[in-house]
Amino acid sequence: MATRKHRRVFPRFVVVTGLSGAGKSHAMRALEDAGYFCVDNLPVALISTFADLMLASEGQIPRAAVGVDIREGEALTAFPKVYLRLKRRPELGAHLIFLEADDAVLLRRFSETRRPHPLARDRSAAEGLHEERRRLQAIRKLADRIIETSRLSVHDLRRRMHEVVGAGGAATPLAVNVVSFAFRHGVPTDADLVFDVRFLPNPHFVPELRPFSGLDARVSGYVLRATAAGRFLSLTSALLAFLLPQYIKEGKTYLTVAIGCTGGRHRSVAIAEALGRRVKRVKGIQVRVRHRDVAEQ
């Protein structure tokens, strides 16, 4: 008998809460990167109204997330009833994520950041944390997902949040900028990886090619015909094919690959164009090729 496969439905409306210092701010940023319209520390009394506005936006706000924490004070006692009403609305797909960590980890984080615990203005951070756990107990019981962050890095938490909301481990494609430049004008300040192609034959010394840039087919053909150029492109493409998925895994959103030659008009331009075409084959990235110094004479 064939079994029916159930399609996983990801939440449209997410509430993030939990213990102070457990990573709510990082979790909210991860949701924002995943395409959620995020509002942090929204008063409990306005959560239902915000959900209504999302549904009435006619697709302008397809997914939304709100952050709720102990700073709400006594108003937080109303949250369980508010959330249960949201759960009864299937069009919202409401999902409650509760973040927590070990006391020792949370106390260390407060010590490192030198920020006071919200409930420890006139007492120790440990006492404030104990009181916070007590107040949030009822909310924790309602959580659809509890994430323990004691041993999670910022990148680990980001991946965990994306798994929950269906962002597939990377909210947006890694933006890879391949930039050609002239060493005589300096290396681009935003370069993550720099490659020097001044070892290649230089069209500058070929009179009929000198007036044109590496965007010209004649110049590009001259540069790319060199055996060393083909070898360089093969090795560099293989390196990037390995590196780019690692950067994506670590949550990197931008990467600049700088290709330099002496004048920034011929060799670096031709190689940057060729490398950009090859890099586009890597999944999960968007490639942009630009030429910083191609207009220089």
Residue 8 lies in a domain: no
Sign of the dihedral defined by the CA atoms of residues 58, 61, 62, 64, in that order: negative
The residue among 217, 157, 190, 202 whose CA lies nearest residue 288 is 190
CATH code of the domain in which 31 resides:
3.40.50.300
Residues 159 and 92 in one domain: yes
d(C-alpha 42, C-alpha 80), whole Å = 15
- Which of the two residues, 265 and 34, has the higher pLDDT score? 265
Angle between helices 79-87 and 125-142 (to 10 degrees): 30
Q: How far is CA 127 from the centre of its chain?
A: 35
| pLDDT above 70: percentage of residues in the chain | 93
Highest mean pLDDT: which of 55-64, 120-129, 146-155, 264-273? 264-273
| 78 located within any domain | yes
- Is 80 domain-assigned? yes
The pLDDT > 90 percentage for the chain reads 65
> Taking 90 as the threshold, does the pLDDT of residue 110 lie above it?
no
Based on the number of CB atoms within 10 Å of its own CB, is 31 exposed (0-12), middle (13-18) or buried (19 or more)?
buried
Answer yes or no: do 122 and 29 share one domain: yes
Average pLDDT over residues 116-132: 84
Number of domains in the chain: 2
- Please report whether residue 65 resides in a domain: yes
Has residue 98 got a pLDDT over 80?
Answer: yes
Tell me the mean pLDDT in the region 110-134: 83
Tell me the pLDDT band of 119, cut-offs 50, 70 and 90: confident
Give the pLDDT mean for 59-77. Answer: 91
* DSSP type of residue 58: T
- The answer to whether residues 157 and 181 belong to one domain is no
Residue 291 — φ and ψ, nearest 5°? -125, 105
Of the residues 134, 165, 196, the one at which a domain ends: 165
Tell me how far apart the alpha carbons of residues 190 and 214 are, in angstroms, rounded to a whole number.
Answer: 22
Contact between 255 and 193 under an 8 Å Cβ cutoff? The reply is yes
Task: Tell me: do 124 and 20 sit in the same domain.
Answer: yes
CB count in 10 Å sphere of residue 190: 11
Domain assignment of residue 284, given as a range: 174-291
Chain position carrying tokens 């030429």: 291
Asked whether residue 98 falls in the same domain as residue 223, the answer is no
Count of other CB atoms within 10 angstroms of residue 196: 15
How do residues 144-166 score in pLDDT, each as one tens digit?
A: 999 999 988 888 898 888 888 87
User: Does residue 82 lie in a domain region?
Assistant: yes
Determine the pLDDT at residue 169. Answer: 42
18 pLDDT band, cuts 50/70/90, is very high
- Summary mean pLDDT of the chain: 89
The amino acid sitting at 41 is N
Q: Which residues of 120-158 are buried (b: 16+ CB within 10 A; e: fewer)?
A: beeeebeebbebbeeebeebeeebebebebeebeeeebb
pLDDT of residue 49: 95
Quote the pLDDT of residue 2: 46
